[in-house]
Amino acid sequence: MGPHGLHLLHSRAWENHHELPIHGVRSQRQMHRLISKLAELQQPADRLQQLVYEIKTSLQAFSGDQVIQVAPYFPGTELVLALHLLDHHLFGLRCDQAVRLLEMIPKPEQRIDALQVIDENLLDPVNRSQLRNLFAAYLLPQVDQLLAEVRGQSHIYGSVTSTRVIFLIDASGSMSTEFRTNCGEYFNRLQFIVHDLHKILHHRAEPQLKFNIIHFSTHVRPWKHSLTHATSHHLKEAEHYLDHLQPEGHTNTHDALKQALNDEEADTIYLLSDGEPSTDMRTILWDLKAWLQQRRNPCVIHTIAFLMGNTQNDPKPKEFMAEVAKISIYVQFET
């Protein structure tokens, strides 16, 4: 996710199947500053300390290409340690990028350690055989076990690390907009979101996860009245619920956020929408800050502006979603 969880998709990014353009993957300026600092430092321990400092002082994630930029400053064992530090700050790696990283680690056992760190960040597990080729025969049983469990990071939600999460999904009429993927498949926006959320629930839901799904258009409709344990029965129920969503109506983001924030148990909300809300945006932002301040427990809001198939270049939806996410971070720091 980005600096405040903002994650923006458009058709060009998907066609390239490359780093998704998100507000919050580190800027060129930030990376230049980091690389310059690492180049000045002579000791690996000092470079690791600098990386720790960068992670603590900035919420932005590292893209796969940015990890490749940083990696040469951490030879061998230090690269394994650096990957451990970056584990929850990566916005995905393609398998070819993972190969380049592992090739920088000469010792086979350390490669295994590094693979255990990056396997859950892989974006294209269909290409996992590229990684297998890096290991000697005696290590292949262990490698095969690791790779068999790789399900691929969600292209939309990234790595969902919270165990108390609400997925807030825009099901308004504009979510019927269709687009074509680079694989030649046609989806409308809502179908694609459902497909991706299926992947999270089916492959990546941990036993300790408690979650809820709320979809909104003109009205707000929750799957459950509160967070629900991710049992096999509930996961099947949730998938059935998702399969019956249809795009229609307006975009009642105001009431959707209000209902989601009423659940004090939730500590993370993923708000996904493709356009401007029906309610005045300033009203939503004003009320949102009040709702967050009234909560007993903090809650972060990751915002996802899903713009696949978009033929316009209206900045308002992106700007609004950025402001929603910024407010949730600001209120947390303030309180």
Q: What pLDDT digit, counting tens, does each position of 96-145 carry? A: 999 999 999 999 999 999 999 888 778 777 788 889 989 999 999 999 88
The pTM assigned to this predicted structure is 0.62
| One domain, residues 70 and 118 | yes
DSSP state of 43: S
Q: How much is the pLDDT for 276?
A: 80
State yes or no: pLDDT of 6 exceeds 60.
no
State yes or no: pLDDT of 261 exceeds 60.
yes
Tokens 């490698």 -> residue: 143
| One domain, residues 177 and 296 | yes
| One domain, residues 304 and 265 | yes
Q: What pLDDT digit, counting tens, does each position of 278-288 carry? A: 889 999 999 99
State yes or no: pLDDT of 4 exceeds 50.
no
What is the domain range of residue 207? Answer: 164-334
Residues 216/166, Cβ–Cβ less than 8 Å: no
| One domain, residues 125 and 172 | no
* Count helices and strands in the chain by DSSP H and E runs: 14, 9
* d(C-alpha 255, C-alpha 262), whole Å: 11
| One domain, residues 328 and 221 | yes
| One domain, residues 83 and 210 | no
Is there a domain that residue 19 lies in?
A: no
Backbone angles phi, psi at 167, to 5 degrees: -95, 115
Domain boundary among 89, 115, 148: 148
* d(C-alpha 222, C-alpha 172), whole Å: 15
Length of the chain: 335
Domain count, the chain: 2
Q: How much is the pLDDT for 326?
A: 86
Percent of the chain with pLDDT over 70: 84
Query: Which range among 14-18, 170-174, 190-194 has the greatest average pLDDT?
Result: 170-174
Domain boundary among 105, 122, 148: 148
CATH number at residue 209: 3.40.50.410
Q: What pLDDT digit, counting tens, does each position of 213-229 carry? A: 999 999 999 999 999 99
11 — pLDDT class (breaks 50, 70, 90): very low
Q: How much is the pLDDT for 332?
A: 52
| One domain, residues 250 and 141 | no
Domain boundary among 117, 148, 179: 148
Q: Which residue has the higher pLDDT, 15 or 205?
A: 205
| One domain, residues 142 and 225 | no
Alpha carbon 256 to chain centroid distance? Answer: 21
Residue 76 exposure: Cα atoms within 13 Å on the Cβ side:
5
- Name residues whose C-beta falls within 8 Å of residue 135's C-beta, 6 or more positions apart in sequence: 108, 111, 112, 143
Give 132-175 as a DSSP string.
HTTS-GGGHHHHHHHHHT----BTTTB----SEEEEEEE-SGGG
| One domain, residues 193 and 305 | yes
| One domain, residues 140 and 171 | no
User: Which of helix, strand or coil describes residue 266?
Assistant: coil
319 — pLDDT class (breaks 50, 70, 90): confident
| One domain, residues 170 and 301 | yes
Residues 305/318, Cβ–Cβ less than 8 Å: yes
- Name residues whose C-beta falls within 8 Å of residue 304's C-beta, 6 or more positions apart in sequence: 5, 6, 7, 8, 9, 156, 157, 270, 271, 272, 273, 321
Is there a domain that residue 11 lies in?
A: no
State yes or no: pLDDT of 68 exceeds 90.
yes
Is there a domain that residue 284 lies in?
A: yes
User: Which of helix, strand or coil describes residue 203?
Assistant: helix
User: Which of helix, strand or coil describes residue 6?
Assistant: coil
| One domain, residues 69 and 170 | no
Is there a domain that residue 14 lies in?
A: no
